[in-house]
Copies of this chain bind each other. A is one copy, B any other.
Amino acid sequence: MQIVIIGSGNVAYHLAKAFTKKKIPLAQIFGRNEEDLNKIAQELNIPHSTSKLEDADLYIICVSDGSVEDVSQLITKTDCIVAHTSGSLPKEILIGAYRKSSFYPLQTFSKSKELDYSKIPFFIETENPADKNLLIKLASQISENVMESSHEKRKYIHLTAVFACNFVNHLFARAKEISDDQKIPFDYFLPLIDETVKKIHEIEPKSAQTGPAVRNDTRVLELHEQLLKDESLEIYKTMNHSIKNMYEL
């Protein structure tokens, strides 16, 4: 099967790398950004182009959600599968006479960070039932965790990931802002953060909750509100309100 990856960002890079590591040949990596594309193509030894899309059996579109529709129209071939990698888009966003599908890896990708691909869950949806097995088989070569998933379900998977990853990272950013202001090194908090995450591998997050809100410690809650302002104060109030509501305090 001839496979082309479209895109030169983090998802394109990591997916191309995962395939290459498993000796699954890529016919081409295609994208707009010549510099990024060159880097990936050289590192992974893949043919690349910014202008002429290679003929293939499978195109995997790894571009930002807003560009998927436009990019999908570059593919004029009809006897092929085209898959996007977005958590929130339906496969119908793809405009063309090919077989539409979705190939969604649930992970946060940074170019500079090595990843254990085998643990990344992949969620597959296809128009054509025969393509489903094909894509599941392909994804299973790089990951131990491949499932079929409707667009409806994928939307909720993406939403859950926003809470569990994007918002968590933003809390780290706001926490660092508070500690930076006080000249407290953020490194002090890394063992605590690591432990917070290790815990939920063993205990339900609801049972693992600690802190002043779940103890309904009004004295500390009021003290903390006095130390905060603007967005961090808003987050503080919203999170405590939600914690109290969850534990019916």
13 interchain pairs (CB within 8 A)?
A88-B219, A110-B199, A110-B203, A153-B182, A156-B184, A160-B178, A162-B236, A164-B189, A165-B196, A166-B209, A169-B211, A193-B197, A231-B242
Mark contacts of A152-177 with chain B using CB atoms, 8 A cut-off: 1 yes-contact digit, 0 otherwise.
Answer: 01011111111111111111111110
A227 to chain B, nearest CB (A): 6
A173–B163 alpha-carbon span in the complex (Å): 9
Stretch at the interface among A21-29, A35-43, A113-121: A113-121
Mark contacts of A101-119 with chain B using CB atoms, 8 A cut-off: 1 yes-contact digit, 0 otherwise.
Answer: 0000011111011011001
A65–B224 alpha-carbon span in the complex (Å): 14
A21 to chain B, nearest CB (A): 17
User: What residues of chain B lie closer than 8 Å to A191, measured between beta carbons?
Assistant: 106-107, 116, 119-121, 145
Contact B157 A184 (CB under 8 A): yes
**Complex copy number for this chain:** 2
- Of all chain B residues, the one with the shortest Cβ separation from A88 is B220
Q: Which residues from chain A sit less than 8 Å from chain B, CB to CB?
A: 64-66, 88, 106-110, 112-113, 115-116, 119-121, 145, 153, 155-176, 178-179, 181-182, 184, 188-206, 208-215, 217, 219-220, 223-224, 227-228, 230-232, 234-236, 238-239, 241-243, 245-246
- Of all chain B residues, the one with the shortest Cβ separation from A87 is B220
Query: With A157-B184, A176-B205 given, is the CB distance from A166 to B213 under 8 Å?
Result: yes
A107–B179 alpha-carbon span in the complex (Å): 16
User: What residues of chain B lie closer than 8 Å to A64, measured between beta carbons?
Assistant: 215
User: What residues of chain B lie closer than 8 Å to A112, measured between beta carbons?
Assistant: 202-203
> CB < 8 Å: which of B65, B169, B181 contacts A217?
B65
Contact A167 B235 (CB under 8 A): yes
User: What residues of chain B lie closer than 8 Å to A119, measured between beta carbons?
Assistant: 191
A170–B235 alpha-carbon span in the complex (Å): 12
- Of all chain B residues, the one with the shortest Cβ separation from A200 is B172
User: What residues of chain B lie closer than 8 Å to A171, measured between beta carbons?
Assistant: 163-164, 167-168, 171
Query: With A121-B188, A184-B160 given, is the CB distance from A170 to B108 under 8 Å?
Result: no
Query: With A195-B108, A231-B246, A239-B235 given, is the CB distance from A157 to B179 under 8 Å?
Result: yes
Contact A161 B239 (CB under 8 A): no
